[in-house]
Chains A and B, each alone.
Chain A
C-alpha cells in the first residue's frame, strides 16, 4: 500500500485538508472586484463614482485647479492651506481603509459609516470656515464647495444603505 494513500483512516483526504485550511483564515481575502460582484449594481456604480471623484480631485489638486476654491486663496492664512492638506491626506487614508474593508469583506458597513460621519465633520467645519472667510460676491464658490462635499457624503450614504440592504437580504 502506498505511503500517501487516502485509505488510511487517520490521514485526511486532500478535500478535507482544503476545507480545513480554507476555514482557518480570519479574513476572507478576495479581490475588490470579487467583493463588488457580490453586491448590487448601485453599490458597484457608487463605488466607481467615488473613485472617479477622488481621481478627479487628485488631478485638480496637482494641476492647481482647486486652489482658487480653497479658504486659503481668500484668507491667505498658511494654516488654512495646511488644514486642507491634512484633510486631503485623511480622505485618502479613508479611501484606502474602505478599499481594504471591501477587499477583506470585513465590517464594510461600519467602516463606511465611520467615514461618512468624518465627512460630516469635514462638511460642517469646512463650510463654516468658507462661510466666515468668503466675501458675499463669492457665493458661487461656496455653493460649488458645498456641492462637492455633499456629493461625496451622499455617495458614502448610498454605499452604507446598499450594504445594509445586502446584509438584511443575506440574513
Chain B
C-alpha cells in the first residue's frame, strides 16, 4: 500500500510537470484578464518549483535512507494548503482550458492528497520505530 501510494504521488507530480510544460508552450491556456494571467503565472511557477524540489529531496532522502517523516509532513501540509487556495479561493481565477491533461490533474488531485497523507503518516510511524 505504501509503495502504491508513493507511485500515485510520483504519477501526479509527473502530470503536474507535464501540464506546466504545456501551459508555457501552448497559447490555449488563457485566463480572463491580464492581472489574472500574472497571478496564474506566479502561482503555477511557485507550485512547479515546489513539486520539483519535493521530488528531488524525497528521492535523495530515500536513496540515502534518511528519515523523511518530517519532510513528508511539511510537503503534505503545503499540498493541502495549495489545494485549499486553488479550490476554495482561486476557483474563478485559475481558469484552466478543457484540456484532457488539465482535467486529469484536477481529477487525480484528491487521490494524490489522500495518498500523500497516507505516505506521510506511514513514514512518521516508520521513523518513530
A: residues with CB less than 8 A from B are 75-80, 82-83, 85-87, 90, 110, 113-114, 117-118, 121, 124-125, 128-129, 132-133
Is the Cβ of A77 less than 8 Å from the Cβ of B93? Answer: yes
Q: Total interface residues on B, using CB and 8 Å?
A: 22
- Tell me the bound Cα distance from A14 to B89 in angstroms: 57
7 extra interchain contacts, Cβ-Cβ under 8 A, other than A87-B85, A110-B70? A77-B35, A77-B36, A77-B93, A79-B90, A83-B85, A83-B89, A90-B81
Contacts of B43 in A (CB 8 A): 125
Tell yes or no: B11 within 8 A of A by CB.
no
Write out, one digit per residue, whether chain B residues 33-61 have a CB within 8 A of any chain A CB (1) or not (0). 10110110011001000100000000000
Is the Cβ of A86 less than 8 Å from the Cβ of B38? Answer: no
**17 A-B contacts, Cβ less than 8 Å apart?**
A77-B33, A78-B92, A79-B93, A80-B39, A82-B89, A82-B90, A83-B90, A85-B89, A90-B84, A113-B70, A114-B73, A117-B74, A118-B78, A125-B42, A125-B43, A133-B35, A133-B38
Known contacts: A75-B35, A79-B36, A113-B70. The answer to whether A125 contacts B46 by CB under 8 A is yes
Tell yes or no: B101 within 8 A of A by CB.
no
- Tell me the bound Cα distance from A124 to B89 in angstroms: 19
Is the Cβ of B50 less than 8 Å from the Cβ of A121? Answer: yes
- Tell me the bound Cα distance from A85 to B73 in angstroms: 24
